[in-house]
Amino acid sequence: MDIYQLVADYIQFWRTYFPEGIQLTREKANQRVGTPYLRRLLTSAQLRQLQDSIAPIYGAWALEGYQLSFMKALLLHLATTTTGGTLLSLGSGPASLELFLLLTNLVDSVILVDISDAMLRRALSIASQLGLSDRVKVICGDVTTVTLPIADKTISIGAMHWSTSWQKWIEKAAESTKPGGLVFLEASMNFAQSGITREEFLGVAARSLNVTGSGFLLPLIEGLRAADLVCFYAAGLKRPKTIKEKPTKQKKKR
Ligand SMILES: C[S@@+](CC[C@H](N)C(=O)[O-])C[C@H]1O[C@@H](n2cnc3c(N)ncnc32)[C@H](O)[C@@H]1O
């Protein structure tokens, strides 16, 4: 796997299918959607509405630098597993990372889960332009309540910090992955909706995964301080189920 070439190709892919970033600054994108999410808890309906409004300007709102650092870290971990299989993505948004992995045949099919219908519609529209529709399935709903299929690899990037039940995302990611399959999880720390800390995140991940890599992802973007969004990730292979041994019956002493 030539990671340098893949990253360079991903930049082109991002600029082609998410061109808003070229026309609109992040500041303008934030003004369009409003920024209540930075200060207070949103209800499920408010969250869905906010994400629906972000979907058409995702390329300006999400920032190329962040997507690139996610893609780099993800590729480094994918390189340690076999290519192909099904990839499940929790909180996929418009699926820039997943569709690129599909296009480059690093995975065979993707299942996208998101609470926002507009995000999934955008993903499906890009998939159709790329001739990938028959390899993409979508599930619209809340990750914490929908029934998830079993996949070879599971990712959740830039999403679980929107949820007050973020721990459940990690548990469901592990449950939905085949034993030995790769799980890659990323979240923003100290976000208003969840207040996840690095220690808590790693602790929950370590209960379900043999963590093989973790750390901060610090994209260097002009005008943004690293402290604006502190991203932490953990990746590893799903732990095989341990079979509980039956306690041996002790003979009663006479
Ligand atoms: C910032 S976007 C990240 C999208 C994508 N993973 C990426 O890296 O470009 C966060 C996504 O999580 C979704 N999301 C937030 N809470 C969710 C929930 N409880 N269930 C499903 N999706 C959720 C949002 O609708 C949004 O599309």
| Cα within 13 Å of Cα(247), Cβ side | 3
Mean of all residue pLDDT scores within the chain: 89
| Cα within 13 Å of Cα(91), Cβ side | 24
Give CA–CA dist 216/233, Å, rounded.
Answer: 6
Tokens coding 108: 């065979």
Give CA–CA dist 175/206, Å, rounded.
Answer: 14
What is the rounded end-to-end Cα distance, in angstroms, of the chain?
68
Domains of the chain: residue spans and CATH: 3-238 (3.40.50.150)
Residue nearest to atom 18 of ligand 1 (CA): 142
Q: What pLDDT, in 10s, does the model give residues 129-155?
A: 999 999 999 999 999 999 999 999 999
Please give the distance, rounded to the nearest whole angstrom, from the Cα atom of residue 252 to the centre of ligand 1.
58
In this predicted structure, the answer to whether residue 177 has a pLDDT above a threshold of 50 is yes
In this predicted structure, the answer to whether residue 249 has a pLDDT above a threshold of 70 is no
Residue nearest to atom 10 of ligand 1 (CA): 159
Question: What DSSP letter does each residue of 5-50 carry, written as one string?
Answer: HHHHHHHHHHHHH-THHHHS-HHHHHHHH--GGGTS---HHHHHHH
CB 90 within 8 A of CB 173: yes
Looking from the CA of residue 155, the nearest atom of ligand 1 is 6
List the one residue out of 69, 119, 78 whose CA is nearest residue 233. 69
- Angle at which helix 64-78 crosses helix 96-103, to 10 degrees, equals 50
Please give the distance, rounded to the nearest whole angstrom, from the Cα atom of residue 111 to the centre of ligand 1.
14
Identify the weakest region by mean pLDDT among 38-42, 49-53, 109-113, 115-119.
38-42
- Of the residues 54, 119, 169, 172, which should be mutated to test ligand 1's pocket, given the most ligand atoms within 8 Å of the CB? 119
Give CA–CA dist 129/145, Å, rounded.
Answer: 31
Residue nearest to atom 26 of ligand 1 (CA): 93
| Ramachandran region, residue 85 (left: φ > 0; alpha: ψ -120 to 50; beta: rest) | left
Please give the distance, rounded to the nearest whole angstrom, from the Cα atom of residue 108 to the centre of ligand 1.
22
DSSP 170: H
Ligand 1 neighbours by CB, cut-off 6 Å: 47, 51, 62, 70, 91-93, 96-97, 113-116, 119, 142-144, 157-159, 162-163
Looking from the CA of residue 96, the nearest atom of ligand 1 is 9
Q: What pLDDT, in 10s, does the model give residues 206-224?
A: 998 999 999 888 765 555 5
| pLDDT at residue number 70 | 93
- Of the residues 38, 74, 114, which should be mutated to test ligand 1's pocket, given the most ligand atoms within 8 Å of the CB? 114
Q: What pLDDT, in 10s, does the model give residues 84-122?
A: 999 999 999 999 999 999 999 999 999 999 999 999 999
Give CA–CA dist 235/253, Å, rounded.
Answer: 50
